[in-house]
Chains A and B, each alone.
Chain A
């Protein structure tokens, strides 16, 4: 008869929900979750290796204007830029939390301040 799942169903009835009440309970990200790319502009040397490594062409590095621009809509969160970043000081990092949602397409430009 079709009662094979009854035990599991009853157990589910008694136990806590498997799902999370998402907006009320914040999401717990793991250490490795690829949320968004973050650049530490103070340490960035604008070498544009990340620009070349990006498979989606989401990064534009301008050495003259001292800017590092990312198109969040094109970024595929593959971490290729983070891995390509010269290892002496980890300037590019992947942060677990997601970038705030945007309604319009826009480029996010970070400018390096002159020392």
Chain B
């Protein structure tokens, strides 16, 4: 039997944009066990609900994570709206869906770029990020920010998008599709990409259910689960759609699911722009959450299902606010895929779950 060695991986590693530490127990070149450790970017943001009133806190939820910035402000706003039984105007809900789906597009393009970078395909990485830039430009034109949008607020949205700008967004997205198809063809058909991804980090459907993984990670293992299909919030305005799934259960399948979800997001944006309701974009929120009132909310973030819980105490401060992020759910599955893989595949395995460490640590 070969000697066992422990190789530390992270918290600073070229493949990780955020700090995650893994102690890899290896035998020869094979990982026997991976022991994760998180907590390097804990900022105590959940505790801050006791210091900032519920209207100001939406700006803090945005800063939980740079990539799901809009998603978290949306999740928080919808939770507080459920807590206070606020009716949100339909136009605001539709605008929220547009920004949220644009966030998903930019998050997946960012991830595809990072994946290409992880297996050393620099050109593909730059092309992905070049396309992503157009989505960020839409953000800047419509909200004034590229990453931190400050567009969502309790009761509605802060900015309206004029109808001609909505058509402009459709044009930009349609212009992206051609180039994006070329990029996706490279991901799906290129031999060098397939060599690195096929059969790497397999998580079967049974294991995925057992670990309770969510989002594209679960959908790549054949679980057709997508919170958007529940029709929460603005998604109720849409017609029915099917979650993108794949059955290969490996890194390649995760790449395929995220790649196809970009098309799905573009379709959703186009559909919602066609059905765009007229009217107000903001309801005035008066009073504070009632004492003992509780609300839960689920939202499909780019990385999977995110769960929110809020409890009021009669003052303008919330008693408790809790976020269970998709990465937190996926870490168990990720550690499982690491067992038995090659040391050289560890960075790719970590990356294919699209870890967002600052989300899960808050």
Could you tell me which A residues sit within 8 Å of B by CB distance? 1-2, 4-5, 7-9, 18, 30, 32-34, 55-56, 76-80, 83, 94
Contacts and interface: CB of A to CB of B under 8 A. Distances in A.
Contacts of B192: 2
A30 B144 contact: yes
A4 B185 contact: yes
Chain A contact residues: helix, strand, loop or mixed:
loop
Contact of A8 (B57, B59, B142, B182): B182
B191 A2 contact: yes
Contact of A34 (B142, B144, B179): B144
25 contacts: A2-B190, A2-B191, A2-B192, A4-B189, A4-B190, A5-B124, A5-B127, A5-B182, A5-B183, A8-B127, A8-B183, A18-B133, A30-B141, A30-B144, A32-B141, A32-B142, A32-B144, A33-B144, A34-B145, A55-B56, A55-B60, A77-B150, A79-B150, A79-B158, A94-B144
Interface in B174-219: 179, 182-183, 185-186, 189-192
Contacts, number: 59
B143 A7 contact: no
Chain B interface residue count: which class? 20 to 34
Contacts of B142: 32
B130 interface: yes
Contact of B143 (A2, A5, A32): A32
A2 B186 CA distance: 8
A30 B190 contact: no
Interface string B61-80: 00100000000000000000
A30 B140 contact: yes
User: What are the nearest 6 A-B pairs in CB distance?
Assistant: A55-B56, A32-B144, A34-B144, A4-B186, A78-B150, A55-B59
A29 to B, nearest CB: 8
Contacts of B123: 5, 9
